[in-house]
Structure 1
C-alpha cells in the first residue's frame, strides 16, 4: 500500500506541511487498511518516504501494519521507534540534515536493544543525500544505482515479512 503526496512548489513548505500533517496521513490510512482486511488481505506493509515515514511510524506503533519501511525519514523520533510493533527497515542517507546518520544509528540502537524483539534492517547509504530514493538525476549512474538498491532492499524486506 502506498500513499503518495507531492509538494506543490507554488506554496511554502510550511503551508504544505500544515495541510498534509503526518497525523492526517495516519488517520486516512486506517480505513484503507480496514478495507483491505475486509477483502481478505491478511498482511499489510507500508513504506514512507521523508514526510511519509512519520505516518508509517504511527501505523507501526498502532499495530495497523505487519511490516514497515522508511526511506530518508522526517519527523520520526527515537520515542516513535521505541513504540514500533512490527518489523521495520530504515534506509538513511549519509548526507541528511533531516535524519542524519547519527539519528538513524540511534534508531538502530533502540531496535537492537535486548528488550525490543522487533525484527529490523537499518542501512545508511553512502554518497547520497536526503530524498535520494525518489529525487535523482537519471543520467547519474551512481544515483540510479543507490535508488535501485534502496527499492530492492524495500521489496526484499516486504517479501521477507509479509507472508
Structure 2
C-alpha cells in the first residue's frame, strides 16, 4: 500500500510555527489562519507528518493572505508518523490512521467550517491527505479540490469523481516526475479519464525533476527547491481563486 518514499525527508515539527493559532474545530485541534469572517475557506489535509510541519503552516498562511479562511486539522490526534520509530513502521502506523477515518473526520471539519459562515469550501491534500480530499470530492462536500503528490488515489477514485451524479467539483492534480507513490504514468491515466469528462474542470500537471513531497517537505535553504514548491503553491492558489468563490 505504501512505500518508503512517502516517508522521506521528514520535517522538523514545530507546534509554535506559523502566523495563525490552534483551536478546536469539528472535534479536532486545528491550525487556523486568516479571518473567520471570510465566507471562502480552504481545508489543508496534511501528509503523514501532520499539522505541525512548518512548511505546511507557512503555506496555510500564504493561502490565508489571499483572502481565505484556512484550516489545517490534526487528523492524527497528536500522533503523527515518526520515521525514527523502528518499532512502528509506516504500515503499522497506518492501521491506526487510515484515510477512511480521515475522511470521516474531514466531513466534520467541513461542517464546522460551514457553521462559521463559509459558503464555499475547497480542500487540498498532500500525500496521505490527497486520498481524504478525493473522498470529499466524491460526495460534493467541497467546491474544488487539489491533490499534491497524492498517495493511495486510484484510477477508480478518479472514475467515481467523474461519473457520480451531481458531483462536478473541479480537481487539480499536481504531481512529481520522481514519484513511486503516484508515478507520472498513473497521473497520465488520471488525466485521460478527466479529459473524457468535459463537464468536470480538471488540471493535471507533472513537475519535472522533483520528488514526492516536494511542496511541503523542501529545504528552505535550497533556492531551487523553494522555487519548485512555490510554483506548485501558486498553481494551487490560482485553482482555488478560480473555483472557490
Tell me the TM-score normalized by structure 1. Answer: 0.94
Cross-structure match for 1:147: 229
User: 2:212 pairs with 106, 130, 144, which one?
Assistant: 130
User: What SS is found at the alignment partner of 1:29?
Assistant: helix
Matches within 5 A, 1:77-116: 77-84=154-161, 85=167, 86-113=169-196, 115-116=197-198
Q: Within 1, Cα distance between the matches of 2:97 and 2:234?
A: 28
User: What SS is found at the alignment partner of 2:200?
Assistant: coil
Cross-structure match for 1:39: 116
Q: CA RMSD in A?
A: 1.2
Q: Within 2, Cα distance between the matches of 1:153 and 1:3?
A: 17
More helix by share: 1
Q: Within 2, Cα distance between the matches of 1:118 and 1:141?
A: 36
Q: Within 1, Cα distance between the matches of 2:108 and 2:160?
A: 22
User: What SS is found at the alignment partner of 2:233?
Assistant: helix
Runs of 5+ in structure 1 lacking a partner?
Answer: none
Contact kept? 1:110, 1:116, Cα under 8 Å: no
Q: Within 2, Cα distance between the matches of 1:36 and 1:138?
A: 31
Contact kept? 2:110, 2:141, Cα under 8 Å: yes
Give the total of aligned pairs.
Answer: 162
Deviant stretches of 4+, over 3 Å? none
Cα displacement (A) at 1:154: 0.7
Rg comparison, structure with higher value:
2
Runs of 5+ in structure 2 lacking a partner?
Answer: 1-42, 51-79, 162-166
Cα displacement (A) at 1:95: 0.6
